Amino acid sequence: MMRSGVLRLILVRLAVAVPLLLVISFGVFSLVHMAPGDPVRALLGTRPSDPETLAALRERYHLDDPLVVQYGKWLGQVLQGDLGRSINGNRLVLSSIKERAGVTIYLLLVSTAIVLAAGIALGMLAAFRRGGRLDRFVVMFGVFGISSPAFVTGIFLLYVFGVVLGWFPTFGAGRGFLDRFWHLTLPSLALALSIMAIVVKITRASMIEVMDRDYVAFARARGVSTTRITLSYILRNALIPVVTAGGIIVIGFLANAIYVEVTFALPGLGSLIVDSVQRRDIPLIQGTTLVLACFVVLVNLLVDVIYTLIDPRIRFSRVES
Amino acid sequence: MHAPLTRRLFLAGSSASAFMLSRAIRASAQESVEEVRWALPSINDTMFVPRAWSTYVGAIMSLVQEGPLAFADDLSLTPATADSWKQVDDTTYLYTLRKDVTFGDGSPLTTDDVVASFAYHMDPKAGSQLAAFFSSVDSVTASGENEVTVKLKSPNVQYQYTPAHMAGFVFSKKQLEEFPEDIGTPDALPLGTGPYRLVEFTPADSVVLEARDDYWGPKPVAKRIVFSAIPDRQTRLLAAQNGDIDGTFDLAISDVDQWKSLGNVDVITAPSLGIFMLTLDQSAPPFDDIHVRKAIAYSVDREGLVKALLKGNGEAATALNPPEMWAGIMSPDEARQFYATLPTYQFDLEKAKAELAQSKHPNGFEVTVPGSSADPYMINILQSVSENLKQIGITMKVQEVDHNQWLAGYFRHENLGMQIMSYYPDFADAANYPYLFYASANAAQDGMNGSNFKNAEVDKALEIANQTSAPEERGEALKTLFKIVNEDAALVPIFWPASAMAINNKYKLTGYNAFWYNIPWAIRGFGLK
């Protein structure tokens, strides 16, 4: 019963995702075309151009076809597993994405680890010391992090830990697992700080709510140890809202990663998107947004599945409906 | 160690060039440096110049690839892989290649490589970004064992520079044929005959070059050069302060003071040969009225802008050509003296008001001017001009748009009104800018003449300057041209900015000039102090 329910959930959501991705890709395609600018001009820069070459370039990238025809050609290619070649640099879009995705995924994983570990711990701490000085400090720290833009936090961290203390490198993504970890510590921290407040606040609020529940009071009365009450009774229940916020957190990371990657000179997907939009590089914009949209759909699906698994109430109501 | 030294001396002697000889001796006196770490604001997705023609790709690839000719420290033409060249007649150029030049993979440079490389740009299907440099070329042929002949469709003086900048880079014909799509990417690292070999390339991140022992020219001092992309200006500064990078090009002039205060780096500046200007579309009101154009010209506080935006690292522009662009015709100082004889519209709001009063729009008008948000100066210039124009009754709205939107708008060539433009040259020739911005042929879509300036006398002068190689004759024609265009206030020159680079103060780079992206800078006076 439970397994088939989850399976059905996954299948239904994946089926819904297909038209959603089509709408997103067509939307982005139209937006790029509506935006003033010209990919061929980005290619040629502030330079006089040879008219024949200009015409050949426009033809190669189908820029003179009507919008729908252009989209159709692109979609036909994608269905055959080919994201095409970028206008700027003539590289396979898929190779560019593969090269860049590594850094971004690493960055997201380390930041998520920091946010979950530090955010939940701080949230718990604040909840236990509710109203106290520590609580106010933690909340203030979170608000400070979320309200200062990631590139400002980034430069600050760079200056303190990169230049003054000299503990971390000032730029680049590093090679190999450990070197990369060393290089990505500061960027991950900058990224984590930009989002941590959400986790801290949600954890704190739901901890406080759960702490006041009858079953917690009952457990205390039964003489269950404080550690067990905190971990199994309070934390487990308090974390449900944190998991549901997981989707928002990951999407927030993606948005902020754009700034962080530029600040720390990391060749990731965020900087790839910024570059491609600046150059109106249509195949590259389409390819990266498609991959990111798939990623967001999958993350949301994953969150819902986890959510369904840890909270039986939702599982049953969803299956019934 | 001995073999390359003797060969170098032999080569230098055989090429009978004192220039080469002095370089070889200077280089041999240098200690070598194991690794130099260089930052650039970005690293492209490909290192194949026809698909990635940018100054940053040039700063890397000028060390890996080279053309038959090169630019010397004084920006004049000098032999490179061709040890001699001559202009046979008005439309024929003959290049004789050196016999000892090899590509990074050891294969010898042949005339076929040169022909294939030039032909690549000339094939519209290839979509080369440098195609325009070959639009005057009719044919390129291997005319002898070591000879390449280039025939032009009609006489064109500007062609002579093409073999010396990025358009002249010679690719390996074999590689072009084997990897037509992927040449220049990590899947097919680009080969060249330059002093360095490209050994590692991570797009958008880094490029590693290794010095070649078998290079025909001077031995590079730095054995390895690692280029890294650092897009953020502040991060680049911190990396230099920390000693994580040894140098970088293309500092924003407004950051120069900050760089100087770091203490461990030297900032080197040189005239960039660039220009910032306003174009005024005289095909439509209100700029069809010469008094309006003069009113605008009088309202630009050039000295103030040089002081405020460039911190003095540049010069207020009195005409289109930076003085150094007159190379081969007159010295920069002579050019300045010549400009002093022209009407140059020094900042004077009273004169501006008087001109406007005489125009068909005595009560002013409204104009919107787009500027690129990516340019460090454009928006600031426009805001300053807008403030001044307000005082004489003209309402100028500044529209900050993204770089591509601004660029595409300018080249669409519709409803131009007032536009701001900046331009940096590929070679120093006095006819280059006037042709781009004043020729009636360029007053069209995809052309640079945003003023829609059309004048038969100017076109005639341009024809002489572009087709005659005698410097005096060209000089006279161009002087006539500058008199006409300045009299007409055909466009409003603003300033000629300097270009700046930073280098760790244990090193020096004496060969830095406006064409840092077109010259093998690491063998032009780079070394330990």
Compare CB distances from A171 to B181, B239, B241 and report the shortest one's residue.
B239
B402 CA: distance to closest CA in chain A (Å): 8
The pLDDT value recorded for residue A314 is 64
B200 has a chain A CB within 8 A of its CB: no
Domain match, A111 and A183 both: yes
Domain match, A167 and A212 both: yes
In a domain, residue B444? The reply is yes
In a domain, residue B311? The reply is yes
Domain match, A149 and A260 both: yes
Q: Which of B404, B406, B413 to mutate to test the interface with A (most CBs of A within 10 A)?
A: B404
Choose one of A51, A79, A107: the last residue of a domain: A79
In a domain, residue B330? The reply is yes
**CA pair distance B486, B506, nearest whole angstrom:** 46
Confidence of residue A312 (pLDDT cuts 50, 70, 90): low
What one-character-per-residue DSSP string does B40-61 give? ES---S---GGG---HHHHHHH
Residue A25 CB contacts under 8 Å (≥ 6 apart), including other chains = A75, A286, A289, A290, A293
Domain count, chain B: 1
CB contact (8 A) between residue A41 and residue B127: no
Peptide bond into B323 cis (omega under 30): no
pLDDT digits (tens, 9 = 90+) for A117-172: 888 888 888 888 888 888 888 888 888 888 888 888 888 888 888 888 888 888 88
The pTM of the full predicted model, rounded to 2 decimals, is 0.85
Domain count, chain A: 2
What one-character-per-residue DSSP string does B154-212 give? S--GGGGGGGGSGGGPPPPHHHHHH-TTTTTSTTSPPP-SSSEEEEEEETTTEEEEEE-
Do residues A272 and A261 make contact, with C-beta atoms less than 8 angstroms apart?
A: no
Residue of A315 and A16 predicted with greater confidence: A16
Residue A62 has pLDDT above 50, yes or no: yes
- Can you tell me the mean pLDDT for A165-191? 85
pLDDT in tens, chain B (529 residues): 333 333 333 333 334 344 444 444 444 445 789 999 999 999 999 999 999 999 999 999 999 999 999 999 888 899 999 999 999 999 999 999 999 999 999 999 999 999 999 999 999 989 899 999 999 999 999 999 999 999 999 999 999 999 999 999 999 999 999 999 999 999 999 999 999 999 999 998 999 999 999 999 999 999 999 999 998 888 899 999 999 999 999 998 888 999 999 999 999 999 999 999 999 999 999 999 999 999 999 999 999 999 999 989 999 999 999 999 998 899 999 999 999 999 999 999 999 999 999 999 999 999 999 999 988 899 999 999 999 999 999 999 999 998 989 999 999 999 999 999 999 999 999 999 999 999 999 999 989 999 999 999 999 999 999 999 899 999 999 999 999 999 999 999 999 999 999 999 999 999 999 999 999 999 999 999 8
In a domain, residue A70? The reply is yes
**CA pair distance B275, B288, nearest whole angstrom:** 23
In a domain, residue B38? The reply is no
Domain match, A30 and A169 both: no
Domain match, A75 and A152 both: no
In a domain, residue B310? The reply is yes
In a domain, residue A89? The reply is no
Question: Three-state SS across B257-280?
Answer: HHHHCCCCEEEEEEECCCEEEEEE
In a domain, residue A276? The reply is yes
Strands B33-40, B247-248: pairing kind: parallel
Q: Identify the bridge partners of residue B397 per DSSP, sorted by sequence position.
A: B368
Domain match, A292 and A151 both: yes
- Can you tell me the mean pLDDT for A192-198? 85
B421 has a chain A CB within 8 A of its CB: yes
B129 CA: distance to closest CA in chain A (Å): 6
- Residue B4 CB coordination number (10 Å): 15
Which residues in chain A touch residue B412, judged by CB atoms under 8 angstroms apart? 38
Choose one of A21, A50, A79: the last residue of a domain: A79
- Domain that residue B478 falls in: 275-498
Domain match, A64 and A114 both: no
- Domain that residue A244 falls in: 99-315
pLDDT digits (tens, 9 = 90+) for A200-212: 888 888 888 888 8
Compare CB distances from B404 to A95, A263, A280 and report the shortest one's residue.
A280
In a domain, residue B279? The reply is yes
What one-character-per-residue DSSP string does A126-139 give? HHHTTTSHHHHHHH
CB contact (8 A) between residue B446 and residue A48: yes
Domain match, A176 and A282 both: yes
Do residues A108 and A257 make contact, with C-beta atoms less than 8 angstroms apart?
A: yes
B489 has a chain A CB within 8 A of its CB: no
Compare CB distances from B46 to A48, A57, A89 and report the shortest one's residue.
A89
The pLDDT value recorded for residue A57 is 86
In a domain, residue A292? The reply is yes
The CB-side HSE value for A162 (13 A sphere, CA atoms) comes to 31
In a domain, residue A94? The reply is no
Residue A90 has pLDDT above 90, yes or no: no
B334 has a chain A CB within 8 A of its CB: no
- Can you tell me the mean pLDDT for A254-267? 86
A36 CA: distance to closest CA in chain B (Å): 5
Domain match, A54 and A153 both: no
In a domain, residue B324? The reply is yes
B213 has a chain A CB within 8 A of its CB: no
CATH number at residue B347: 3.10.105.10
Could you give phi then psi for residue B495, rounded to 5 degrees? -150, 160
Domain match, A305 and A168 both: yes
Which residues in chain A touch residue B207, judged by CB atoms under 8 angstroms apart? none
Residue of B466 and A238 predicted with greater confidence: B466
B373 has a chain A CB within 8 A of its CB: no
CB contact (8 A) between residue A263 and residue B232: yes
Q: Which of A31, A32, A40, A46 to mutate to test the interface with B (most CBs of B within 10 A)?
A: A46
Compare CB distances from B232 to A42, A46, A262 and report the shortest one's residue.
A262
The pLDDT value recorded for residue B19 is 43
In a domain, residue A239? The reply is yes
Domain match, A26 and A120 both: no
Region for B489 from its dihedrals, namely left if φ exceeds 0, alpha if ψ lies in -120 to 50, beta otherwise? left
Domain match, A108 and A188 both: yes
Do residues A134 and A227 make contact, with C-beta atoms less than 8 angstroms apart?
A: no
In a domain, residue A108? The reply is yes
Which residues in chain B touch residue A158, judged by CB atoms under 8 angstroms apart? 235, 238
Compare CB distances from A278 to B128, B404, B447 and report the shortest one's residue.
B404
In a domain, residue B152? The reply is no
Compare CB distances from A265 to B232, B374, B403 and report the shortest one's residue.
B232
Q: Which of A44, A57, A90 to mutate to test the interface with B (most CBs of B within 10 A)?
A: A90
Which residues in chain A touch residue B408, judged by CB atoms under 8 angstroms apart? 36-38, 41
CB contact (8 A) between residue A48 and residue B181: no
Confidence of residue A2 (pLDDT cuts 50, 70, 90): low
- Residue A253 CB coordination number (10 Å): 24
- Can you tell me the mean pLDDT for A206-230? 84
